[in-house]
Amino acid sequence: MAEGCMMALRYGMVFFNLLFWLGGCGILGVGVWLSVTQGNFATLSSSLPSLSAANLLIAVGTIIMVIGCLGCVGAVKESRPLLLTFFILLLLIFFLEILSIMLFFIYQDEIDHYAQRDLKKGLQLFGTEGNVGLTNAWMIVQTDFRCCGVTNHTDWFEVYNASRVPDSCCLEYSDNCGLDNPGTWWTAVRFGMNLKFTFCVYEEL
């Protein structure tokens, strides 16, 4: 009976770690595809240009693949060193997550202030040469989440030195709609950098 339970546990661990590894392969594949075809896709930070969606997916996919491989091979070969390494890595990731959450709560205001300052700095690079990823990211965020700027649409006034916004800020997209009446734009009440907001709360002007 005990031997049967151990066998079931072993095969169960192999199966779930194999799925884990395949998931990591998928995430890594998407990250590599984005990196090759889209460059620095979804890069909002001007001070951390390498912190793009593609690079994050590659890093996460690689970590998942390594952990899944260790667990799968360790279960198949019943290797104690591999299984021990597998569980140590899982515990390390768990503690790092707990630590990150605690630090976020403690330094929430500082993180929020720094993030907003960095995002506003990134607005200055919108549409400039060599910043396709950042430009695409802002267009996607503003279009999909129906918001405009970091705190509100006036953030773009400093970028253009005029009362205009990118066309992705418009309620109904059309060429040069960012030059129209402000009543046709979205305005972000808040760009989500704290626990109360995920991305941006929006409203019509």
pLDDT category at 202 given cuts 50, 70, 90 is very low
Nearest alpha-carbon partner for 33 in 58, 14, 51: 58
pTM: 0.64
Which stretch of DSSP H or E encloses residue 186? strand 186-191
pLDDT exceeds cutoff 50 at 7: yes
Contact 111, 193 (CB under 8 A): yes
Q: What angle do CA 121, 113, 159 make, to 5 degrees?
A: 25
Q: Looking at residue 88, what is its pLDDT?
A: 92
Write out the DSSP string of 120-137.
HHHHTTTT-TT-HHHHHH
Give how far the C-alpha of residue 117 lies from the chain's centroid of Cα atoms, to the nearest Å. 18
Between 122 and 199, name the one with better pLDDT: 122
pLDDT in tens, 119-164: 888 888 888 887 777 788 888 888 888 888 888 888 899 888 888 8
Q: What is the pLDDT of residues 24-54, one digit of tens each?
A: 899 888 888 877 766 555 566 666 666 667 7
CATH of 109-204, picked from 1.10.3470, 1.10.1450, 1.20.950, 2.40.50, is 1.10.1450
Per-residue pLDDT of 73-86, as tens digits, reads 888 888 888 888 98
Structure tokens at 87: 């569980």
Give the Cα separation of 138 and 126 in Å (integer): 8
Q: Please indicate whether residue 198 or residue 12 has the higher confidence score (pLDDT).
A: 12
Q: Kindly report, as residue ranges, where domains of CATH 1.10.1450 are found in the chain.
A: 109-204
